[in-house]
Chain A
């Protein structure tokens, strides 16, 4: 990894690019409190709510592992696989306050290190890089005690 490369989010506006305090950026309906991630900015999708007032919120950074799996084979584009391919793990993490499950790749752990119900925390990590940039994504990792 070349030190000159600049870090860019793999997608704009979905999370704060702050490695010390990463947060997912969603919205919460001002009327019914439903949380949206990725952000829903136009209409609340609750069928019993007609609100279009959806201020931005930061989501909880910790949650419980609902399930997990991995991918042992290179997926097709637009995933950018390193050469040689490195298998990766994907976690589904349940956020208590938001009452929702959010997916993410897992940083620094494989399926053998995981167990449903364990506490996970949000982190930022490189998803892929090209000659100029390192593209950063949110990931989950087992929470520090």
Chain B
């Protein structure tokens, strides 16, 4: 057992959907389910880490205290985190480090969101100093514009085809069919995907993740506390929250340009490769030790990039991995057995936490209808706007 492991005693989720209710309700449901799963009472929780979203209607509600109040003020210590799509990993890491520092035994991590319909949009007003506002104003650069740039680049660099991208979507659709927390439980064919309207060429409507309401929670504890309550729990062996290294030479949301490499050496490891790499280093494990992965498939094509970024194959080999069935449940290294963002849509502060819930169910053998046989270790990968990496390794 690694000295930096913490135990995952409980996991819980509120199903993803477009429920239109207050996010607190989703977070509380997820938290109560996680506490039940852990066999602990809310009042046993000493520390609450909440994942924040700054958009979508509730600035002023700070998540950790908001959830603590909804569960009933108990005097727990709290901390709220924000890292865009990587928010959940930041919250997990805050709780984990409190436990590893010996400052608490039991921590609750909660993230939940309520999203508007359509494209994510920046804050209102005239915000000429805000790159996120400016990219919409000056370029019309929505999130799918960036996804489209990456997808086209993959086609140009590696000969990926629209058919490959559609197959990734079809694979995830099948994976999510039996997942009770997934929003979309429908099996699409390649023809369905390719017949859906073009959004940002070459990506079509069915290949771009939706925005969803949902919530996810974890109850974490020290290994010592866990040994008194359970046997052989799933453990968090690593959390990576790295930033890029300068110069970051791949265009990233919400930027107008990459860093210039005219004055500094390009780093050996590109940002997206460095995210899981740091987690592997922490855990003393490598991609070859993983039995499954949950990656941030904001688009079908982006899922293929992640195969390479998390070391499942070499650059340019992701299409082969997909088409050989390696990343399908039953294959060598199933990716997104939950159905991924394809089937969930994005509930930003909950998403990195939901990835850990899925790995936990898989590793416990409780992922009914989507179980990866013999799963003992898995990795998550995710990336948040403004330079937030996110990767968590869960293992027995």
Interface residues of A (CB under 8 A from B): 10-11, 28-29, 32-38, 44-49, 66-73, 75-80, 88, 90, 92, 97-105, 111, 116-117, 127, 137
Contact = CB atoms under 8 A, between A and B. Distances in A.
Contacts of B137: 10-11, 78-80
B44 interface: no
A56 B119 CA distance: 36
B264 A32 contact: yes
B138 A77 contact: no
Contacts of B197: 72
Contacts of A137: 138
Interface of B: 118-119, 121-122, 124, 126-128, 133-134, 136-142, 144-145, 148-153, 156, 197-203, 245-247, 249, 251, 255-264
Contact of A76 (B121, B134, B198, B258): B121
Contacts of B119: 73, 75-76
Contact of B258 (A33, A80, A100, A117): A100
B224 to A, nearest CB: 39
A67 B262 contact: no
Given A70-B201, A77-B136, A99 B260 contact: yes
A46 B246 contact: yes
B179 to A, nearest CB: 28
B253 to A, nearest CB: 11
The 9 closest A-B pairs by CB, nearest first: A69-B148, A34-B263, A76-B121, A32-B263, A99-B261, A116-B156, A35-B260, A33-B263, A100-B260
Contacts of A80: 137
B256 A69 contact: no
B246 A101 contact: no
Given A46-B247, A97-B262, A127-B138, 17 more contacts: A11-B138, A33-B263, A34-B262, A36-B260, A38-B256, A44-B263, A49-B264, A69-B145, A72-B198, A75-B140, A76-B118, A76-B142, A79-B140, A90-B140, A101-B257, A102-B256, A137-B138
Contact of B142 (A32, A48, A71, A98): A71
Contact of B256 (A37, A71, A116): A37
Contacts of B148: 69-70, 90
A43 B341 CA distance: 38
A111 B262 CA distance: 30
Contacts of A75: 119, 121, 136, 140, 142
Given A46-B246, A111-B201, A77 B121 contact: yes
Main secondary structure, interface of A, reads loop
A67 B152 contact: yes
Given A29-B263, A69-B148, A11 B201 contact: no
B118 A71 contact: no
B257 A102 contact: yes
A44 B247 CA distance: 12
A94 to B, nearest CB: 9
B258 to A, nearest CB: 5
6 contacts: A47-B245, A69-B145, A70-B200, A77-B124, A78-B137, A79-B137
A78 B202 CA distance: 25
B337 to A, nearest CB: 29
Contacts of B256: 37-38, 102-103
A35 B149 contact: no
A104 B139 contact: yes
Contacts of A10: 137-138
Residue of B137, B201, B260 with most chain A CB atoms under a 10 A cut-off = B260
A67 B200 CA distance: 12
A68 B149 contact: yes
Contacts of A32: 263-264
A76 B122 CA distance: 9
Contact of B259 (A67, A97, A100): A100
A80 B202 CA distance: 24
B142 A33 contact: no
Contacts of B144: 69, 71
A105 to B, nearest CB: 6
